[in-house]
Amino acid sequence: MKLRLSEYNPVWKKEFTKLQTFLSSILADLVIDIKHIGSTSVETLWAKPIIDIDIVYNKNFPEIKKILEANNYLYEGEKGIKDRHAFKRLKDDFYEHHLYVILENSESLLNHINLKRALQNNQKSRIVYNDLKKKLITQNNIDRELYTKSKTSLIQSILKEESLMKSIVLAGGCFWGVEAYFKQLNGVVATEVGYINGNGSPTYQKVSEGSGHAEAVLIRYDEDMISLKKILDHLFNIIDPTAINQQGNDKGIQYRTGIYNYAQEQFLFITNYISVRQKEYSLPITLELKTDLTFFPAEDKHQNYLEKNKNGYCHINLSTYKNVE
């Protein structure tokens, strides 16, 4: 069968949700998580129109296998990849998908998660990855093994870049000022302004007209020089975390505050941090916390805006970074 490649289709997210609901119902508390991974899980990526799913477990694999086989899945073995068990759907009652039962904290699982997160945060990597897949399909659309192997070096390069620097996405009102503030900090290696957590592929105009995205800043940082706690200290230094859809004079849903695309292992620390800081405020903290989202870079004119426009508008007192110990 010829290899297929399709542009991103929002239907993939909806079909995964149906599969996730079904798998959760039959596997109940035997598994830790059910994750949508692979190219169909990242907005704007072209992909083979097949949904890839990781069922994460830490014990009871024989029982999981038995239940899946009783529900029309064929066990296909590890296929040469340790701790990853492949299953094939025998009926066509769901969208076409690949199912993997994969051990918690295994190298395969971490690579799947890290590659997805790297592609979600980096539009340049998404473009390069798309271009390579289109080229491979054009050259040879029948050799699946060649197609897979040809992507390996690029994937390894993306994973290496992801491992070298930590990243997180922060929203704190107008992204011009938030970016300018964080660029001052030792340990912040790179910044990029953009949009996150809305509907469709945004532009500044669409966001202003109510696409639902937040103006945000992708921050890459060296953990040896600046900790996540210190980054959060600085975020709280420049926002009113109790305000709803407003920071400074700017009002609108795009100016809400939030913390996005954190690594899953950072979630507990972030929630504990917010819980401690809540004691300082009489009103509830309203920061949005969401991960597993696609970050869309803003137009070039918005990148490093206050460097290009020395008298440009800023709702933040940039010098207050000195007050954070």
CB atoms within 10 A of CB 80: 6
- Residue 175 pLDDT greater than 70, yes or no: yes
Average pLDDT on 223-229 reads 96
User: Which listed residue (45, 115, 174, 293) is catalytic?
Assistant: 174
Whole-angstrom distance, CA of residue 210 vs CA of residue 206 = 6
Query: Could you tell me whether strands 33-37 and 214-221 are parallel, antiparallel, or unpaired per DSSP bridges?
Result: unpaired
Average pLDDT on 219-244 reads 97
- So what's the pLDDT on residue 148? 79
Question: What's the pLDDT tens digit per position in 134-156?
Answer: 998 888 777 777 777 888 889 99
Please state the domain extents for the chain: 11-163, 166-323
314 labelled catalytic: no
Question: What's the pLDDT tens digit per position in 39-82?
Answer: 999 999 999 999 999 999 999 999 999 999 999 999 999 988 99
11-163 matches 166-323 in fold: no
Give the pLDDT band of residue 1 (cuts 50, 70, 90).
low
**Would you say 192 and 303 are in contact if contact means Cβ atoms under 8 Å apart?**
yes
Instruction: Assign a CATH topology to domain 11-163.
Output: Beta Polymerase; domain 2 (3.30.460)
For 213, which DSSP code?
A: P
Q: What value does the CA radius of gyration of the chain take, rounded to a whole number of Å?
A: 22
Whole-angstrom distance, CA of residue 262 vs CA of residue 136 = 32
The amino acid at 90: L
Read off the pTM: 0.91
Q: What CATH class has 166-323?
A: alpha beta
